[in-house]
A and B are shown apart, each in its own frame.
Chain A
Amino acid sequence: MTDDDDRVFKALADPTRRSLLDRLFERDGRTLTELEEGAGMTRFGVMKHLRILEDAGLVVTRRSGREKLHYLNPVPIRLVHDRWIDKYTERQVSALADLKHELEGGSA
């Protein structure tokens, strides 16, 4: 599992790869040619970055006829969020939840 998290953090540690994910977030299911446009690098460069994103599970490809489409897979980010970020924000979250219960007049 740690290996998986490592791959996710490493994949996210690059602005070009984050930008590719942002573009898939805007519109999913893009071809390599579409992702190349505006990426400001060679086809080979884009392929290299997509490969790293795929290895981290952040991009999943799927064939549609003759085309290979790229999809953003948010599950690994969710896992990092649920396993790591929640852990460190837990106290604030539960304090807010308590406050919500109190304001709504319910019992926690």
Chain B
Amino acid sequence: MRTDTLTTTQVYRVYIKATPQAIWDAITDPAWTEKYGYTNRADYELRPGGAYRSYPSEAMKRGADAMGFTLPEVVVDGEVLESDPPHRLVQTWRMLMDPEAAEEGFTRLTYEIAETKGGVTKLTVTHELEGAPKLALVVAGRLEETGAGGGWAWVLSDLKSLLETGAPMDMEDGLKR
């Protein structure tokens, strides 16, 4: 596989039986972000120019320790570009967990939350990854076998499960509680 094949934009969409506000909270509220996916604790200053930082949860630190490496204090950072709750959040996004990906610098991430019929909300995540081939592999879940997690598809599947059933997926990935 050529390594530049993924270096453009990735688009992920999931339909969740939940209100736009519930989905917005799940993305921006640390009480929620620790419950699914990589279980990071998100810290958002929800205004243009505001800081975004994501801290590893205790579970994540334990998982990393078990695999023999130490996580940085902040695992993802960025800047909020647009915040229109509960419909649209645009931010820059840089992953600091992996030195190679960290060096690729900031990428651009857009969350779009739109109500559809029957109490179902459409969540679209657009990740613009120009110039970030390593990060593109990570967020596409193509390094899952190496313990990098399943990327956005995995995160969104888990988010849907959490919001619809109240419980995240039970997965043997070493990152979960």
How far apart sit A107 and B157, CA to CA, in the bound complex (Å)? 29
Q: B-facing mask of A70-97, CB < 8 A → 1, else 0?
A: 0101110111011000100000011011
Name the segment of B7-15, B47-55, B82-90 touching the other chain: B7-15
Given contacts A62-B11, A82-B161, contact A74 B153 (CB under 8 A): yes
Interchain CB contact under 8 A, B172 and A94: yes
**Which secondary structure dominates where chain B touches chain A?**
mixed
**Which secondary structure dominates where chain A touches chain B?**
helix
Tell me which residues across on chain B come within 8 A of A27, comparing CB atoms. Answer: 5, 8
Whether B96 is near chain A, meaning CB under 8 Å from some CB there, is: no
Interchain CB contact under 8 A, B172 and A78: no
Given contacts A74-B141, A75-B157, A79-B160, contact A28 B14 (CB under 8 A): no
Tell me which residues across on chain B come within 8 A of A71, comparing CB atoms. Answer: 9-11
Whether B27 is near chain A, meaning CB under 8 Å from some CB there, is: no
Whether A32 is near chain B, meaning CB under 8 Å from some CB there, is: no
Interchain CB contact under 8 A, A93 and B160: no
**B154 nearest in chain A by CB position:** A78
Q: Interface extent on B, as a size class? A: 20 to 34
Whether A12 is near chain B, meaning CB under 8 Å from some CB there, is: no
Tell me which residues across on chain B come within 8 A of A82, comparing CB atoms. Answer: 157-158, 161, 169, 171
Tell me which residues across on chain B come within 8 A of A96, comparing CB atoms. Answer: 172
Given contacts A60-B124, A74-B153, A82-B161, contact A28 B13 (CB under 8 A): no
Interchain CB contact under 8 A, A73 and B15: no
- Residue from A71, A77, A94, A104 whose CB has the most chain B CB atoms within 10 Å: A71
The contact of B12 among A29, A75, A86, A93, by CB within 8 Å, is: A75
Tell me which residues across on chain A come within 8 A of B171, comparing CB atoms. Answer: 82, 86
**A93 nearest in chain B by CB position:** B172
How far apart sit A4 and B160, CA to CA, in the bound complex (Å)? 13
Tell me which residues across on chain B come within 8 A of A79, comparing CB atoms. Answer: 14, 157, 160
Q: A-facing mask of B137-167, CB < 8 A → 1, else 0?
A: 0001100000000101110111011000000
Given contacts A74-B153, A93-B172, contact A106 B13 (CB under 8 A): no
Interchain CB contact under 8 A, A75 and B153: yes
Whether A26 is near chain B, meaning CB under 8 Å from some CB there, is: yes
Interchain CB contact under 8 A, B13 and A60: yes
Whether B66 is near chain A, meaning CB under 8 Å from some CB there, is: yes
> Given A26-B5, A29-B9, list of 16 further CB < 8 A pairs?
A26-B1, A28-B10, A28-B11, A62-B9, A62-B126, A71-B9, A74-B12, A74-B140, A75-B156, A78-B157, A81-B157, A82-B157, A86-B171, A96-B172, A104-B66, A106-B66
